Chains A and B, each alone.
Chain A
């Protein structure tokens, strides 16, 4: 076994080695250092606003030599002072500087978001061309963005005002046009005063005829009779209620005339184009006038004065039209000017947003650091992968050089009792699989990573449930399209569904490849079998094939070399045979995967040097699972190899019910009864073996370790044991709660024992889904395609083909894919990972500009 210990560790199996580091940055290089660290993206800083400084660094600046020497100083006295000082962060003006910077960045990003909104509202899409992107400073950006914002706000306000005026004038014009018509008609009708005024609804044609008529008639001014009018415009929807209200308010002493305005006008309240109606209300008396005006106000009707004389009306209409065209021109010019300004912003906007985000990130990070009592440097703690330490050191050196700082940045390891974050270096292929595993739980630090095996077993189990090489080819095509257009699709913004599909393109590729393989094994191409690997192993008993439909064919040679014999498809005994095969296959695959899971728990225990776990957890678990279900798997293989007619259900059940009973015709091999008794005893022994010893041994170990501690420690007044949770000298005196540990172990054992049965049965979903897929596929093929093909008409054939394609694409390719994906996922998460995985770690989230840019996307 020494051979195994010399070997390099497998990458991806366990998290990268992480170290807790402390960095001490002098003020002048702080911003630059953090920016460079952001570019590198390999350090996750902790928020150390209130640290408990264990070690204190003192800078000793030697003025004679112009150099700086650093030495460690651990002085309890100064530590207390520092702690007290650092806790009073409100008093520090230095800290406040960064808060202001963060606020500045927040304000700038608000302005940039405002620009983005305006640009999208105006419908401008400017792709950023790299040539025109200038590199500008943050201060310059601040100034420019405030200028732009003021300019845009002013332009918006102006155009708003102009638009309002335009709308009013438009309404006035409409009122003039329509109301003028009423008034003329009213004057016409007023010639015989006794005649009742009749409501008329005018069309444009009538208007023209009215104008012609009025030249011959000398109208009497209707105002001489004390009759006055109010003209205005109101929303069409409110018109009826308005009229009724007016009628009631004036007790019927009014005459209401209305006509549709003809064109849509923008409603000032809602900003939408609405249908409006022009109205004229004839009334007499001052009180009536007031009432009418109030009602107009309440209903939001705008009243416009229309002169009675026709000539004045015409003149007014002309003036209004002129003004309207002027306003239109002004509005257009204003819009063009604004769009030009927005376009110039749009080309730079993305760059600016990223820059502001980066700066904000840098200042947020600087806020996470804390400062030393000398107020000359910032102290921070963080996690970084051990392999990245040289790179980080180099980046910090560059920062020192570029900021012309006299003092170098200190970067050193620290001890920690906290569990480090988990970091797996994934590439674009393994990233999706790692995400799938992390969705269940992020691996504990240095725990075995199931993603290593899931890369293959997950698509494989999917394929067992999906097995059809025709459908597999379709999936392959889809995944290849996504992979070949990787660069283009990666830079675009995709919808949520497309993004998921694109993110999982390599998963789909593997799923497709395995589906093709399993399809060849099941011998299904859109449910049609092929004779790719030679002729069938079955033939008729005699040349007339008379009893082929009653007693069936016979097997005359070796089994079909690869996959299911094509003769099975369509036969009456197909389902009994395939069901039996697939159920047994599910059990075999399930037992294998669960054994792999338990084996991984062994490797974990070995890595962490926990022989307790190996002896009292791994071994009884292996024995229990394999003496029951491993034995079942063995029986299955023996039954297949010998062709025995033994009933395996009977064997398994009576192994428990009647272990000493005679097996009779269910005997598969010599010594089976004795072996079964032995296995049963081993399984029974394994249960208390995994339940009892571990808690007792843990208690014994704990008492041995902390034997002397109950006497108490002679501590000095300077050693603050209770108040230094992060101190490297902390004593781990945790109480050992035996009942808690015992209950935990009991739950774990019961879960395993009951889970052994239920998890094995759970793998039968491999059979269930593959049966469903096969049957659906058969139904679509036989009842859609073959049926349509049976007709001579081309139209019916094409229609049948189209429906078949549609059904295959949506039901089989989408729904079944998702379904098989989900079930394969469940099998991994529960049945496989439940055997060894804890998944209670946390992910490594470094401060990285690249991640910020991705977030913005």
Chain B
């Protein structure tokens, strides 16, 4: 459970960072579109992650949201700053996940040395 929670935390942090970056450095074309698209997307993502984290199946219809928002999300994806944020999030998550999983069911345990 801890693995899943932390994974979701990474995901949410990535999304928040990407939104912040775009709001701060809005130099690209149709920035307004991105800002507009990001707010419902963000709320949607937060909603889903909250529901998932609680172990409940999300009851509201995400399908309709999906149709509207996926286009917005994909607009988000194809922007340079976003690529950076996503890459950074994925790299950081992988690093954490590898070290976490390696310690999940370890085959050896710490054997203290004489000095301790």
**Distance, CA A453 to CA B80, complexed state (A):** 10
Contact B115 A559 (CB under 8 A): no
Cβ-closest chain B residue relative to A518: B95
Contact B99 A581 (CB under 8 A): yes
Within 8 A of B (CB), among A506-535: 517-518, 521-522
| B residues near A246, Cβ cutoff 8 Å | none
Contact B112 A553 (CB under 8 A): yes
Task: Tell me, yes or no, whether B62 is within 8 Å of chain A by CB.
Answer: no
Contact B110 A560 (CB under 8 A): no
B76 to chain A, nearest CB (A): 10
Contact B110 A571 (CB under 8 A): yes
Task: Tell me, yes or no, whether A8 is within 8 Å of chain B by CB.
Answer: yes
Contact B108 A573 (CB under 8 A): yes
**Distance, CA A558 to CA B1, complexed state (A):** 10
Task: Tell me, yes or no, whether A572 is within 8 Å of chain B by CB.
Answer: yes
**Distance, CA A500 to CA B100, complexed state (A):** 38
| B residues near A456, Cβ cutoff 8 Å | 84, 87-88, 91
Contact B91 A460 (CB under 8 A): yes
Cβ-closest chain B residue relative to A593: B91
| A residues near B110, Cβ cutoff 8 Å | 538, 552-553, 565, 567-568, 571, 573-574, 577
**Distance, CA A585 to CA B100, complexed state (A):** 11
Cβ-closest chain A residue relative to B110: A571
Task: Tell me, yes or no, whether A589 is within 8 Å of chain B by CB.
Answer: yes
B80 to chain A, nearest CB (A): 5
Within 8 A of B (CB), among A533-585: 537-538, 548-555, 558-565, 567-568, 570-574, 576-577, 580-581, 584-585
Task: Tell me, yes or no, whether A452 is within 8 Å of chain B by CB.
Answer: yes
Type the 1/0 row for A746-785, where 1 means its CB is closer than 8 Å to any CB of B.
Answer: 0000000000000000000000000000000000000000
| B residues near A4, Cβ cutoff 8 Å | 74
| B residues near A518, Cβ cutoff 8 Å | 95
Cβ-closest chain B residue relative to A581: B102
Task: Tell me, yes or no, whether A3 is within 8 Å of chain B by CB.
Answer: yes
Task: Tell me, yes or no, whether B96 is within 8 Å of chain A by CB.
Answer: yes
B79 to chain A, nearest CB (A): 7
**Distance, CA A553 to CA B116, complexed state (A):** 13
Contact check: which of B84, B100, B109 meets A538 at CB < 8 Å? B109
Contact A573 B84 (CB under 8 A): no
Contact B105 A643 (CB under 8 A): yes
From B94, B105, B106, B114, name the one whose CB has the most chain A CB atoms within 10 angstroms. Answer: B106
Cβ-closest chain B residue relative to A4: B74
Contact check: which of B74, B75, B95 meets A521 at CB < 8 Å? B95
B94 to chain A, nearest CB (A): 7
Contact A577 B108 (CB under 8 A): yes
Contact B94 A589 (CB under 8 A): yes
Task: Tell me, yes or no, whether A167 is within 8 Å of chain B by CB.
Answer: no
Task: Tell me, yes or no, whether B28 is within 8 Å of chain A by CB.
Answer: yes
| A residues near B109, Cβ cutoff 8 Å | 538, 551-555, 573
Contact A558 B80 (CB under 8 A): no
| B residues near A589, Cβ cutoff 8 Å | 94, 98
Contact A563 B113 (CB under 8 A): no
Task: Tell me, yes or no, whether B24 is within 8 Å of chain A by CB.
Answer: no
Task: Tell me, yes or no, whether A645 is within 8 Å of chain B by CB.
Answer: yes
Q: Known contacts being A8-B78, A457-B91, A517-B95, is A570 close to B102, with CB within 8 Å?
A: no
Task: Tell me, yes or no, whether A716 is within 8 Å of chain B by CB.
Answer: no
Task: Tell me, yes or no, whether A129 is within 8 Å of chain B by CB.
Answer: no
Task: Tell me, yes or no, whether B26 is within 8 Å of chain A by CB.
Answer: no
**Distance, CA A7 to CA B73, complexed state (A):** 11
Contact check: which of A453, A464, A641, A643 meets B95 at CB < 8 Å? A464
From B104, B107, B111, name the one whose CB has the most chain A CB atoms within 10 angstroms. Answer: B111
Task: Tell me, yes or no, whether B55 is within 8 Å of chain A by CB.
Answer: no
Q: How large is the interface on A (under 10, 10 to 19, 20 to 34, 35 or more residues)?
A: 35 or more
| B residues near A176, Cβ cutoff 8 Å | none
Contact check: which of B6, B94, B111 meets A550 at CB < 8 Å? B111
Q: Known contacts being A585-B98, A592-B94, A643-B107, is A3 close to B114, with CB within 8 Å?
A: no
| B residues near A11, Cβ cutoff 8 Å | 28, 79-80
Contact check: which of A573, A576, A640, A642 meets B102 at CB < 8 Å? A640
Contact A564 B99 (CB under 8 A): yes
Type the 1/0 row for B52-72, where 1 means its CB is closer than 8 Å to any CB of A.
Answer: 000000000000000000110
Task: Tell me, yes or no, whether A228 is within 8 Å of chain B by CB.
Answer: no
Task: Tell me, yes or no, whether B83 is within 8 Å of chain A by CB.
Answer: yes
Contact A452 B78 (CB under 8 A): no
Task: Tell me, yes or no, whether A455 is within 8 Å of chain B by CB.
Answer: yes
Instruction: Report the count of interface residues on B (CB-CB < 8 A).
Output: 40
Task: Tell me, yes or no, whether B92 is within 8 Å of chain A by CB.
Answer: yes
Contact B100 A570 (CB under 8 A): no
Task: Tell me, yes or no, whether B103 is within 8 Å of chain A by CB.
Answer: yes
| A residues near B115, Cβ cutoff 8 Å | 570
Cβ-closest chain B residue relative to A568: B110
**Distance, CA A457 to CA B89, complexed state (A):** 11
| B residues near A517, Cβ cutoff 8 Å | 92, 95
Contact B99 A571 (CB under 8 A): no
Contact B116 A570 (CB under 8 A): yes
| A residues near B99, Cβ cutoff 8 Å | 521-522, 563-564, 581, 585
| B residues near A564, Cβ cutoff 8 Å | 99, 103
Q: Known contacts being A553-B112, A570-B116, A573-B111, is A562 close to B102, with CB within 8 Å?
A: no
**Distance, CA A623 to CA B98, complexed state (A):** 24
**Distance, CA A562 to CA B100, complexed state (A):** 7
Task: Tell me, yes or no, whether A10 is within 8 Å of chain B by CB.
Answer: yes
Contact B113 A570 (CB under 8 A): yes
**Distance, CA A198 to CA B21, complexed state (A):** 96
Cβ-closest chain A residue relative to B82: A10
| A residues near B87, Cβ cutoff 8 Å | 453, 455-457
Q: Known contacts being A11-B28, A455-B84, A570-B113, is A643 close to B104, with CB within 8 Å?
A: yes
Task: Tell me, yes or no, whether A712 is within 8 Å of chain B by CB.
Answer: no
**Distance, CA A9 to CA B104, complexed state (A):** 42
| A residues near B95, Cβ cutoff 8 Å | 460, 464, 517-518, 521, 585
| B residues near A580, Cβ cutoff 8 Å | 102
Contact B105 A453 (CB under 8 A): no
A538 to chain B, nearest CB (A): 6
**Distance, CA A363 to CA B25, complexed state (A):** 41
Contact A549 B6 (CB under 8 A): no
| A residues near B106, Cβ cutoff 8 Å | 555, 577, 643
A601 to chain B, nearest CB (A): 17
B108 to chain A, nearest CB (A): 5
Task: Tell me, yes or no, whether B36 is within 8 Å of chain A by CB.
Answer: no
B64 to chain A, nearest CB (A): 16
| B residues near A522, Cβ cutoff 8 Å | 99
| A residues near B114, Cβ cutoff 8 Å | 549
**Distance, CA A552 to CA B100, complexed state (A):** 20
Type the 1/0 row for A449-483, where 1 means its CB is closer than 8 Å to any CB of B.
Answer: 00011011100100010000000000000000000
B25 to chain A, nearest CB (A): 10
| B residues near A641, Cβ cutoff 8 Å | 101, 104-105
**Distance, CA A673 to CA B84, complexed state (A):** 40
| B residues near A157, Cβ cutoff 8 Å | none
Task: Tell me, yes or no, whether A637 is within 8 Å of chain B by CB.
Answer: yes
Query: What are 29 A-B residue pairs whose CB atoms fall within 8 Å in the complex?
Result: A7-B75, A10-B78, A10-B83, A12-B80, A453-B87, A456-B88, A456-B91, A460-B91, A464-B95, A517-B92, A517-B95, A538-B110, A548-B116, A549-B112, A549-B113, A550-B111, A551-B109, A552-B111, A553-B111, A565-B103, A565-B110, A572-B113, A577-B110, A580-B102, A585-B95, A585-B99, A641-B104, A642-B105, A643-B104
**Apart from A552-B111, A570-B112: 19 A-B pairs, beta carbons within 8 A:** A3-B70, A3-B74, A8-B30, A11-B28, A11-B79, A456-B84, A460-B95, A517-B92, A552-B110, A561-B6, A565-B110, A570-B116, A573-B108, A577-B108, A577-B110, A581-B102, A585-B95, A592-B94, A641-B105
Instruction: List residues of chain A with CB under 8 Å of any chain B CB.
Output: 3-4, 7-13, 452-453, 455-457, 460, 464, 517-518, 521-522, 537-538, 548-555, 558-565, 567-568, 570-574, 576-577, 580-581, 584-585, 588-589, 592, 637, 640-643, 645
The 5 A-B pairs of least Cβ separation, nearest first, read A643-B105, A552-B111, A571-B110, A559-B103, A456-B87
